[in-house]
Amino acid sequence: MKAHVAKYPADRSRSALIPLLFVVQRERGGWLDNPGVNFLAKFLDLEVTDVWETATFYSMFNLRPIGRHHIQICKTLSCKIMGEPDITDHICSKLGIKPGETTDDGKFTVTMVECLGSCGTAPMMQIGFDYYEDLTLEKVDKILSDCK
Amino acid sequence: MEIKALGCEPLSLRRVFIKDGHTLDVYRKDGGYKSLKKAMTMTQDAIIQEVKDSALRGRGGAGFPTGMKWSFVPRDNPKPKYIVCNADESEPGSFKDRYLMEYDPHALIEGMLIAGFALGSNTGYIYGRGEYRYLLDIMDVAIKEAREAGILGEKVLGNKDFSFDLHTHTGAGAYICGEETALLSSLEGFRGHPRMKPPFPAIEGLYASPTIVNNVETLTSIPQIIEMGGIKWRDLGTEKSGGTKLWSISGHVKKPGVYELPMGYADMEKFIMKDCGGMLRKDKDLKAVIPGGSSVYIMNAGQIIGQNVTLDYEGLVAAGSMLGTGGMMVMDETVDIMESTKNLTEFYKHESCGWCTPCREGTDWLVKIFNRISTGEGRPEDAQLLLDICDNMEGKSFCPLADAAAWPIQSAIRQFPGDFKKWLFDNVSSNGVKPNVQ
Ligand SMILES: Cc1cc2nc3c(=O)[nH]c(=O)nc-3n(C[C@H](O)[C@H](O)[C@H](O)COP(=O)(O)O)c2cc1C
Ligand code: SF4
Ligand code: FES
């Protein structure tokens, strides 16, 4: 965590807030809980409300528990016209959930997201931080069965 | 997906075709960091002049002349100065910066070092969108290599008067953080709200210090310009649009990808119908193209076919749109333009930062009306209603995101009136499909 703070001028440690929120999110099992946020506020010498103020602005910070594999399907135009709806239907019916939901065993969460900069390899999705591109239904089956 | 240069030698894409071109060793063997050495023998003014001569315009979407932007930095200001690379790349349809960072991270580092030397800065940040974690990891490796080789850090390449260090910084999912002042708020650890301009970042940017924000492609062009000389680089393209440009092309073409073309490439029809392999499905005609990322005017096939549209800033304006980021989205006749416009409007509603009323409320209303239309409840007056809301947003909001939300709608209604008529009068899509109401 100190390495993150060291990137910025000494009196500007707040700049490390977003990178460190990712660290806290990872350490707290994929979402920002109160103990994690309180710890970070203390570490950066910020008010807890300052941390929440920033954290709640950004879509990649989860404010609720989330599945071990966070499937983020791009729903923006290039993916949409290249077959996203079929991919989404397939994944959702396979997992028995709707976008925005988590499977009962806590293994998968499906979220619809906006363009991830892979429009040339549409349709695409991101699981965690990994990109999966040029998706087909067969590819999706393989990717899901590889998720442990 | 294709990655390819057409009508020119690969320049920005050069390292894509060289094995291990992303490593410091190979980059140096290929002439890497020679431009930095050359730049350090020049005066700051001479470097800025080369960039001005090159007619390089910012590749992040706004197209502001880079040399002019650099000349705004007050050299006598005693505050530290910052070079910030905008690697937020969130404009739908745009995916070129990704490949530059993946294949040529040292070109970006070299470009930032030259900018740092020219502007008297000792620190740079690369602000990447949160989803680009793997790219920031690649950049971190390259930065480490450069530090260990004495290229970054104290006394750059032994130059006792120039120190420069560079750090990556991650965003966390917010399109608005691509806007340069919102990016700086975010880099300071705050919500990504844009800031009032003026003062412009060149005068008061990061930590209220003079700051240059430039796009990845802009910065990776700098070593090329220093190596070749500004005029020679400019002459690869046209007098007003210098150099080469990366185009991201997606949607219904056979060979989507990233293409490097000289500015002024002729012409758009050839590019889509021949170079990119033409339509994905042979029996489907071209219907629409959004040529410069989602925020520009949509074009119908009649504006492209037989029109000799040149691919540069001036050519696309003359054809009724804009170059933007060069993110081309191609649609065939199966796409309903009310639906495609609705999709993009949802994007802008989601990404509006909520700071000012016309944009926050406007995008919300627009989506509500689109929802009504798409469930078959559209009314004949809805097209005018959409246009009225756009009028209340365009030019009346705090930052250009609101304009970017209005333009696709205004141009869609103008260029594809038939698609809207079908929905508003007959309550069916342009392909006669009845809405699927749950
Ligand atoms: C809503 C919005 C989003 C933007 N997103 C990006 C982006 O993702 N990447 C980028 O380089 N510029 C983006 N820009 C443009 C930047 O504000 C700025 O003009 C650019 O970073 C300047 O660099 P350049 O002169 O090298 O293009 C965006 C602008 C707006 C208004
Ligand atoms: S125009 Fe939209 S994105 Fe820009 S400041 Fe206003 S609310 Fe935020
Ligand atoms: S539209 Fe899906 S990645 Fe860009």
Q: How confident is the model at residue B437 (pLDDT cuts 50, 70, 90)?
A: low
Ligand nearest to the CA of B183: 1
Closest Cα in chain B, distance from residue A32 (Å): 13
Mean pLDDT of B220-239: 98
Q: What is the pLDDT of residues B188-211, one digit of tens each?
A: 999 999 999 999 999 999 999 999
pTM equals 0.97
**Contact (CB, 8 A) for B355 and A84:** no
Q: What is the pLDDT of residues B353-388, one digit of tens each?
A: 999 999 999 999 999 999 999 999 999 999 999 999
Residue B438 reports pLDDT greater than 50: no
Interface subset of B 156-215, CB within 8 angstroms of A: 167, 169-175, 186-192, 207
Identify the residue among A57, A73, A75, A88 best suited for mutation to test binding to B, counting B beta carbons within 10 A and taking the highest. A57
Q: What are the backbone dihedrals phi and psi of residue A6, each rounded to the nearest 5 degrees, phi first? A: -65, -15
Ligand 2 neighbourhood includes B354 CB (under 6 angstroms): yes
Closest Cα in chain A, distance from residue B205 (Å): 14
The residue whose C-alpha atom lies closest to atom 12 belonging to ligand 1 is: B60
Ligand nearest to the CA of A78: 3
A89 has a chain B CB within 8 A of its CB: no
Pocket probe for ligand 3: among A73, A111, A118, the residue whose CB has the most ligand atoms within 8 Å is A118
Closest Cα in chain B, distance from residue A21 (Å): 9
Q: Do A76 and B347 touch (CB under 8 A)?
A: yes
**Contact (CB, 8 A) for B355 and B194:** yes
